[in-house]
């Protein structure tokens, strides 16, 4: 497979990978790095790509694992503080500039979810993936995914309603 063919293979889902990475890592730069890393890894596996049923699913799994590793190593070191500072500052800046924009509320609520729920909501509600597909990528059974998804959606609803009423009152 040459570079062009690889790009054609990757193009339909590279944005998806990026969005999933960004959901987990929050910062755009880190999400870009993660996506690049995953795509380069994928490119290095060039020869064996044909043997996979779905390259997209493989890429998604790699992205998920890479981001979770990233988060884990960040938590182990001092980096966590840096990262939190960064996200906090970003949020407050956004808050000032466009506080009226309720979409940001949804985003911030989603950022507070546990990682697994973040991933599930991202895949289901934003990328509109089937449960079957998600279960292979997340290595979870469908029922567990449904349970987590329901829990995440309810959490978002609860917090949304709270802010909604708060906004009115």
Least Å distance, CB 106 to another protein, is 4
Q: Nearer to another protein by C-beta: 81 or 126?
A: 126
Least Å distance, CB 76 to another protein, is 27
Closest CA to 3 of 42, 29, 38: 42
Q: Nearer to another protein by C-beta: 72 or 162?
A: 162
Rounded CA gap, 131 and 63, in Å? 18
Q: Which alpha helices (DSSP H) does the chain contain, by range?
A: 3-25, 28-44, 55-76, 79-97, 102-111, 115-121, 131-138, 142-168
Q: Nearer to another protein by C-beta: 40 or 97?
A: 40
Least Å distance, CB 18 to another protein, is 4
Q: Which two tokens stand for residue 128?
A: 């509109």
Other C-beta atoms lying within 10 Å of the C-beta of residue 164: 13
SS3 141: coil
Contacts of 8 (CB under 8 A, 6+ apart): none
Least Å distance, CB 113 to another protein, is 13
Q: Nearer to another protein by C-beta: 41 or 75?
A: 41
Least Å distance, CB 13 to another protein, is 10
Rounded CA gap, 6 and 9, in Å? 5
Contact residues: another protein, CB under 8 A: 3, 6-7, 10, 14-15, 17-19, 22, 32, 35-36, 39-40, 43-44, 102-103, 105-107, 124-128, 130, 145-147, 149-150, 153-154, 156-157, 160-161, 164
Q: Nearer to another protein by C-beta: 73 or 147?
A: 147
């Amino acid at each position: 497979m040459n570079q062009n063919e690889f790009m054609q293979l990757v193009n339909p889902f590279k944005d998806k990978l990026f969005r999933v990475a960004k959901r987990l890592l929050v910062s755009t730069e880190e999400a870009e790095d993660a996506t690049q890393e995953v795509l380069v890894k994928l490119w290095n596996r060039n020869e064996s790509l044909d043997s996979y049923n779905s390259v997209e699913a493989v890429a998604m799994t790699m992205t998920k694992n890479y981001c979770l590793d990233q988060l884990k190593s960040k938590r182990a070191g001092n980096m966590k503080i840096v990262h939190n500072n960064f996200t906090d500052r970003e949020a407050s800046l956004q808050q000032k500039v466009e506080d009226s924009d309720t979409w940001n509320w949804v985003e911030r609520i989603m950022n507070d979810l546990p990682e697994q729920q973040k991933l599930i909501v991202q895949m289901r509600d934003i990328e509109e993936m089937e449960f079957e597909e998600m279960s292979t990528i997340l290595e979870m059974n469908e029922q567990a995914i449904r349970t987590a998804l329901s829990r995440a959606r309810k959490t978002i609803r609860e917090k949304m309603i709270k802010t909604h009423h708060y906004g009115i009152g």
